[in-house]
């Protein structure tokens, strides 16, 4: 049997060009679509990260509000102690000082989880607005410097100079003394934080109060105390200046970011 082969008409050059153009257009459209998808994903990711960054700055603002209130109060108190003990000839009421003095140290810890994540993953490139990016970088730089000063310089001065100076002059009863107002405001949390403290104080309170009331300080000791108050005041006031400046910078940063990256 004879086999017949169908012959195909050869394509002309126009058909080859048309097929090539169609293939090129399909590939190009694929690249364009992928680019649009990536830009959309980047924009969404950028908004998510910026919203989280805003929350971190807001947390810093709350922390700074508390720090500024407490450190302003303590600075004012140490300022009075410095002048009263350094220049006044009146007798120091040690019992009153023991009851009123705040021996806590309040430190700033920069909440920067999201910024560090953006920096390590390269997500900072998502931020197209130069003004916003510059403001963020300056804020984080200053926040890190404030944290370093707070947990470094101020804490070192407190632990290595201030507390040893007090401990050298004042007896243990001064530090264990609890004023009547504080005793009245004791709550369950205080008992959990200081287990046994108040029970023990009930046993030894009379002895502690008697010892504090009878503390006698020489002129030299009073001058040393006044210096301790003063040097503590110096550290606090310098730290306060930076805290207030960062608080203002954070407020300006939020005003810049929040209108653009709203939930």
Both 64 and 103 in a single domain?
Answer: yes
The tens digit of pLDDT for each residue in 185-225 reads 777 666 677 777 778 888 899 999 999 999 999 989 999 99
Both 76 and 178 in a single domain?
Answer: no
Of residues 49 and 18, the one with the higher pLDDT is: 49
Both 156 and 253 in a single domain?
Answer: yes
The tens digit of pLDDT for each residue in 98-109 reads 999 999 999 999
Rounded Cα–Cα distance for residues 96 and 55 (Å): 42
Both 191 and 257 in a single domain?
Answer: no
181 Cβ contact list (under 8 Å, min separation 6): 99
Count how many domains the chain has: 2
Continuous H helices in 122-218: 130-148, 155-157, 163-169, 172-176, 180-184, 188-193, 197-213
Q: Which domain holds residue 120?
A: 50-170+218-263
Tell whether 195 is covered by a domain: yes
């Amino acid at each position: 049997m004879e086999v017949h082969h169908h012959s195909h008409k050869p394509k002309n050059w126009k058909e080859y060009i048309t097929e090539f153009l169609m293939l090129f257009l399909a590939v190009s459209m694929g690249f364009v679509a992928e680019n649009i998808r990536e830009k959309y994903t980047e924009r969404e990711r950028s908004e998510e990260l910026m919203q989280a960054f805003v929350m971190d700055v807001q947390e810093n603002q709350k922390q700074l509000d508390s720090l500024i209130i407490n450190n302003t109060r303590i600075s004012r108190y140490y300022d009075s102690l410095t002048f009263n003990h350094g220049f006044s000839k009146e007798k120091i009421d040690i019992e009153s000082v023991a009851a009123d003095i705040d021996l806590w140290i309040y430190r700033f810890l920069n909440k920067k989880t999201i910024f560090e994540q953006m920096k390590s993953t390269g997500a900072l490139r998502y931020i197209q607005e130069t003004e916003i990016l510059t403001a963020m970088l300056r804020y984080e730089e200053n926040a890190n410097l404030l944290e370093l000063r707070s947990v470094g310089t101020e804490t070192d001065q407190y632990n290595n100079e201030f507390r040893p100076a007090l401990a050298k002059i004042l007896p243990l009863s001064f530090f264990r003394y609890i004023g009547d107002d504080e005793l009245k405001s004791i709550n369950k949390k205080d008992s959990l934080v200081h287990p046994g403290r108040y029970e023990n104080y009930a046993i030894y309170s009379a002895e502690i109060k008697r010892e504090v009331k009878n503390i006698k300080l020489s002129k030299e000791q009073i001058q040393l105390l006044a210096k301790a108050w003063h040097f503590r005041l110096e550290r606090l006031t310098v730290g306060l200046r930076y805290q207030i400046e960062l608080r203002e910078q954070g407020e300006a940063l939020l005003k810049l970011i929040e209108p653009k990256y709203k939930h």
